[in-house]
């Protein structure tokens, strides 16, 4: 009896810092945001009224949110499959013990060193109409590059943001998939080879199934990042080009300087909670849906 309670004062003291911090900066905000989501505020954000759970449905159905949702989903569709495929392709390409392969592996991993701000600004500079290097090099083929520039054309702005994201995530994806490739036991390949399987067959029947759990993990991370896209938008396009707001993702809707609901606490909170739910749903769906087909060890 005594033994069980003896540790309690120590446990309290040691857990307090983490628990207090998490309580104040993670748990409380979540709860309060869910509560605030009930509020219906006027344009200045000063007068708010409790409108109950129905407010969440209203926000979800609102034009602003639906538009942001479509932007976020489009971004997701653009970046996740591409990111995965490119990551796999690069990892497979560099998965050979050639001389100097270390240099190439480092090169492919390099974008993992970029932050959101750095990566976004790099592409900002490159895509500037008239003077960006890419604009200059390719404007012959793609005139839009020169005027008004990829970032300022409502048709292409989101593609530009996606491009920046895909490039930035390449390093991360490459490193993880490479590690997964290296963990596949070589004798599986040898056995398939002896059975007469060509490289493509070996790839689809040995490589992909063996690294499937890792691909699932990468997929979830990329999806989460796509849904959380804020910095890229803030730095590249400011949510625009306006008035179409072609690149206003849900996070930008919530936090962006140019966002229409910038001062509306109630709507912001509701949108944030909805974003959270969305991320959860996607994560769960990906895990459930693909887990059945994913091979977890022999």
Among 51, 84, 122, 144, binds another protein (CB under 8 A): 122
Distance, in Å, from the CA atom of 162 to the CA atom of 75, rounded to the nearest integer, reads 6
**164 burial level (CB within 10 Å; 0-12, 13-18, 19+):** buried
- The answer to whether 98 contacts another protein (rule: CB under 8 A) is yes
Q: In angstroms, rounded to a whole number, what is the distance separating the alpha carbons of residues 147 and 201? A: 46
Q: Is 217 in the site for another protein (CB under 8 A)?
A: yes
Stretch that binds another protein, among 20-28, 49-57, 71-79, 201-209 (CB under 8 A): 20-28
Of 61, 63, 96, 186, the residue at the interface with another protein (CB under 8 A) is 96
Q: Which is nearer to another protein, 25 or 53 (CB)?
A: 25
297: contact with another protein by CB under 8 A: yes
User: Binding to another protein (CB under 8 A): which residues in 56-85?
Assistant: none
Q: Contacting another protein (CB under 8 A), which of 56, 75, 78, 123?
A: 123
Member of 159, 193, 230, 287 binding another protein (CB under 8 A): 230
Within residues 186-205, the interface with another protein by CB under 8 A covers: none
Three-state secondary-structure class, residue 191 = helix
Residue 51 or 104: the one with the smaller Cβ distance to another protein is 104
Q: Between helices 265-291 and 63-93, what is the axis angle to 10°?
A: 40
Q: Which of 84, 112, 188, 197 binds another protein (CB under 8 A)?
A: 112
Rounded least distance, CB 234 to another protein, Å: 7
Phi then psi for residue 49, to 5 deg, are: -130, 145
Q: Does 180 bind another protein (CB under 8 A)?
A: yes
Distance CA(96)–CA(98), nearest Å, equals 6
Stretch that binds another protein, among 56-64, 139-147, 177-185, 201-209 (CB under 8 A): 177-185
Alpha helices in the chain (DSSP H): 2-6, 8-22, 28-36, 54-61, 63-93, 101-109, 116-126, 133-138, 157-182, 186-194, 199-202, 208-227, 231-236, 250-255, 265-291
Alpha-carbon distances of 128 from 114, 136, 183, 230, rounded to whole Å: 20, 9, 42, 20
- For the bound state, the minimum distance from the C-beta of residue 245 to another protein, rounded and expressed in Å, comes to 18
164: nearest Cα among 111, 90, 217: 111
Q: Pattern 130-169, binding to another protein, x per CB under 8 A?
A: -xxxx-x------------------------------x--
Indicate whether 110 belongs to the interface with another protein (CB under 8 A).
yes
The 3-state secondary structure of 149-163 reads CCCCCCCCHHHHHHH
Q: How far apart are CA 35 and CA 266, in angstroms?
A: 9
Binding-site size for another protein (CB under 8 A) equals 88
Query: Which residue among 62, 82, 139, 228 contacts another protein (CB under 8 A)?
Result: 228
Site string for another protein, 22-51 (x = CB under 8 A): x-xxxxxxx-xx--x---------------
């Amino acid at each position: 009896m005594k033994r069980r309670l003896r540790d309690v004062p120590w446990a309290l003291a040691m857990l307090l810092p983490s628990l207090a911090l998490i309580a104040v900066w993670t748990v409380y905000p979540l709860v309060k945001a869910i509560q605030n989501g009930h509020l219906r505020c006027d344009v200045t954000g000063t007068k708010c009224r409790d409108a109950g759970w129905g407010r969440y449905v209203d926000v979800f159905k609102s034009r602003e949110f639906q538009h942001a949702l479509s932007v976020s989903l489009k971004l997701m569709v653009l970046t996740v499959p591409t990111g995965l495929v490119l990551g796999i392709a690069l990892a497979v390409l560099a998965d050979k013990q050639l001389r100097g392969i270390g240099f190439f592996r480092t090169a492919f991993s390099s974008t993992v060193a970029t932050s959101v701000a750095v990566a976004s600004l790099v592409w900002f500079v490159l895509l500037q109409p008239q003077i960006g290097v890419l604009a200059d090099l390719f404007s012959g083929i793609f005139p839009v590059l020169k005027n008004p520039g990829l970032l300022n054309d409502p048709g292409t702005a989101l593609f530009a943001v996606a491009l920046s994201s895909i490039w930035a995530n390449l390093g991360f994806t490459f490193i993880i998939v490479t590690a997964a490739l290296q963990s596949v036991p070589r004798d599986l390949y040898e056995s398939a080879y002896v059975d007469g399987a060509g490289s493509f067959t070996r790839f689809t029947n040995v490589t992909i199934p063996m690294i499937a759990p890792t691909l699932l993990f990468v997929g979830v991370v990329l999806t989460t990042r796509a849904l959380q896209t804020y910095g890229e938008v803030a730095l590249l396009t400011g949510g625009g080009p306006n008035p179409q707001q072609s690149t206003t993702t849900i996070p930008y809707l919530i936090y962006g300087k140019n966002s229409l609901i910038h001062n509306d606490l109630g709507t912001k909170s509701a949108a944030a909670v909805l974003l959270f739910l969305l991320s959860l749903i996607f994560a769960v769906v990906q895990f459930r849906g693909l887990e059945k087909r994913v091979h977890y060890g022999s």
